[in-house]
Amino acid sequence: MINIRDKGAEIWEGWNRPKRVALVLITIVLAGLLPFAASWGPTSFLNTPITSFQNVLVYPVGMFILMALGLNIVVGKSGLLDLGYVAFFAIGAYSQAILSTKFGWSTWEVLPVGIAIAMFSGMLLGLPALRLRGDYLAIITLGFGEIVRIIALNSKGTGGPNGVAGIPNPPAVFGFKFDLMHPEHYFWLVLGMILLVVWMIRRFTVRRPGRAWEAIRQDEDVAALMGVNTLVYKLWSFVIGAAVGGAAGVLYASKVMVISPDMFKFDVSVLILACVVFGGIGNIWGVILGAGILAYLPDRIRFISDARQVIFGLVLIIMMNLRPDGLLPRKKREKITEKSKK
Amino acid sequence: MNFSVVTSQFWALCLQGLALGLIYSLISLGYTMVYGVLRLINFANSEVFMVGTFSILFIQVSVLGHAVNVEPIHGIQLIGALLLSLVGAMLVCALLAMLVELVAYRRLRAHGSNRLASLISAIGTSIFLSESFRIFTHSRPQTSPRLLEKWTFGEIAGANFRIDTVMAIIASIIIFFALDQFVNRSRLGAAIRAVSMSEENSRLMGINLNRVVTLTFAIGGLTTGAAAFFYTTIYENTQFNVGFNLGIAAFTAAVLGGIGNLRGAFYGGLALGLLEQFASAILGSQWKAVTVFLVLVLVLLIKPSGIFGEAVQQTRT
């Protein structure tokens, strides 16, 4: 099968700097114009029937791309199956909800704190869990996701099953207001965070942590023998993934203004995993594409919306059986090393 | 926190814990058998259980034509109905487990894909099953007809020996004994043990690997189906997500006893069932799942091979 990812990488590597900068800028501007796509004639078929297109772009599309990128660091880069990713999303969302309604913090003040809390809980979970073999990790993370939800459901501080209401929107920055009237501002904010995460992952990938993750993903024992401190690097990928999930949670809570425990069920973890797997495990562009498609389609095609989980389950089975590398597979040179191992 | 409940209801809690624990043990066989042979977690087993509970409803309501609020039936009719539900659920679960193996594992195994791929496809199967039933039942819990009148043999030290609890305990022990004999005595059991020791060597000895794998999935399905039957007779209702929590608990039981180890699954299930009953009596039932999870983490941290060690047979490469 043709590897589009490799073709793209080939062209990209053949280009000089001005050409690359131009392409990046054009892509960013086009992405930034997306909120207006629904009202422009030729692309108006994108419009969604129930929720307004601009809101769909923020949640689920933007948020899921952000979270899928975060999960991709854990699952794709270092090969650890995390089935409780929703926990970090929930932790971020509840940090925002509690700190803003009880202590009057603004979203911008909560954001670093929420990220820090998510990272810390990622470390708390990771320290015991990452010592174990992969399939145990899957079960432990799955349990952790449920525990966070159960604690939120049964504690007084989190409002129990009713959750927290009246979470304030983020205050305006540079004249950009964040309220119900301006979903496009939210989208730009999420887009900015996505770009930041993409940049971060790309930097990591070419540096020591990226190489360590790659080594761990291919063969953990060999990596350890070569002197890679596997636990530390696994922990880092886990914690960075948690940070992205936490950031998404903080933004989500301040966008929807009301959160409750049933928004953070196991379904969400599976959905994000499906996004990663569908697009191409380990490949940023594939993950963005996969998350975009899987998050957007249920809102565009109504009858999918009720059966979306069934479809995501099917996506996981079919992709694993027929195209385990996803829509846009990772680089071939990484795949060759995978084959030679067998 | 309510510790007085422990002293006042000690034996009652023990009996309930025993019954629940045996249900866990039966489900955990679906994990343990498969793990022993493939070294993979059979994630879809929880949904096999869920489908099993629904198949009992289907048999009792649609095939036998009992209304949900039926008067309890007696005598030969009762025994026939119960046996039919039990055998039916076991068969449905065994077939489904074999199907799961075919869809989620076989192709990936043949291609030599990595473990992550099999895990993900098994999770996909599990989501697909539970969500199909959610849509099918409109997310509503379903009540099963009470065919069996819940009379008690009597009370000893506060423990109420109800017919359904006693039946579940005795029957589970019989099933375990039979399975243990099968794995340790029969020719097919020897094949299963051989594959769990070394896949490659057993293939050299002329064992049909695919058949053994299918067989272990089928055995796991059979016992999970039996668990579904006892669960529905005791609790009398089911829901599309019933497999989720029971699945995690059963998996914990398997790990607690040493995953891949038959007898380990038995004792692990018992220990977990008792622990869960006491924990929910002391802390309140909403924290039940949290206790199970903490036990799992602690076991994996302190003794990852479980109380009785891994593998169907002690030998491991």
* Whole-angstrom distance, CA of residue B128 vs CA of residue A270: 11
Parallel, antiparallel, or unpaired: how do β-strands B152-156 and B237-238 relate? unpaired
* Whole-angstrom distance, CA of residue A146 vs CA of residue A153: 10
Of A60, A86, A266, A129, the C-alpha closest to B126 is: A266
A213 three-state secondary structure: helix
**Tens digit of pLDDT for each residue in B229-246?**
999 999 888 998 898 889
Tell me: pLDDT of A335 over 60: no
Q: Is B246 on the interface with A (CB under 8 A)?
A: no
Judge if ipTM > 0.85.
no
Q: In one letter, which amino acid is A37?
A: A
Q: Do B124 and A313 touch (CB under 8 A)?
A: yes
Helix-strand-coil split of chain A, %, nearest 5: 75, 0, 20
Under a CB-based contact definition with an 8 Å cutoff, are residues A278 and A290 in contact? yes
Of B238, B240, B253, the C-alpha closest to B145 is: B238
Q: Give the nearest chain B residue to A323 (CA atoms).
A: B117
Half-sphere exposure of B244 (CA within 13 A, CB side): 16
Alpha carbon of residue A138 to chain centroid? 17
Average pLDDT over residues B174-194: 91
Of all residues in chain B, the percent with pLDDT exceeding 90 is: 34
A219's tokens:
């063969």
> Please, which pLDDT band fits residue B26 given cuts at 50, 70 and 90?
very high
Lowest mean pLDDT, pick from A289-293, B4-8, B18-22: B4-8
* Whole-angstrom distance, CA of residue B100 vs CA of residue B30: 12
The helix (run of H) or strand (run of E) holding residue B156 is strand B152-156
Q: Do A313 and B125 touch (CB under 8 A)?
A: yes
> Please, which pLDDT band fits residue B316 given cuts at 50, 70 and 90?
very low
Taking contacts as CB-CB distances below 8 angstroms, the residues of chain B near A313 are: 123-129, 131
* Whole-angstrom distance, CA of residue B84 vs CA of residue B97: 20
Q: What is the pLDDT of residue A122?
A: 94
What Cα–Cα distance (Å) separates residue A89 from each residue in A98, A179, A275, A279, B141? 14, 21, 16, 21, 29
Of A327, A41, A16, A69, the C-alpha closest to A195 is: A69
Q: Is B211 on the interface with A (CB under 8 A)?
A: no
* Whole-angstrom distance, CA of residue B144 vs CA of residue B71: 12
Half-sphere exposure of B44 (CA within 13 A, CB side): 32
The helix (run of H) or strand (run of E) holding residue B143 is strand B142-143
User: Which of residues 267 through 296 in chain B touch A, CB cutoff 8 A?
Assistant: 286-287, 289-290, 292-293, 296
**Tens digit of pLDDT for each residue in B116-159?**
788 888 888 998 998 899 988 888 888 888 888 777 887 777 77
Tell me: pLDDT of A334 over 60: no
Q: What's the angle, vertex CA B102, arms to CA A278 and CA A340, rounded to 5?
A: 60
Q: What is the pLDDT of residue B123?
A: 86
**Tens digit of pLDDT for each residue in A87-110?**
999 999 999 999 999 898 888 999
Tell me: pLDDT of B312 over 60: no
Interface contacts (A, B; CB < 8 Å): 115
Q: Do B116 and A81 touch (CB under 8 A)?
A: yes
B237 three-state secondary structure: strand
Q: Is B110 on the interface with A (CB under 8 A)?
A: no
Q: What is the pLDDT of residue A282?
A: 84
Buried-exposed string B123-160: b where 16+ CB fall within 10 A, e elsewhere: bbbbbbbbbbbbeeeeeeebebbbbbeeeeeeeeeebe
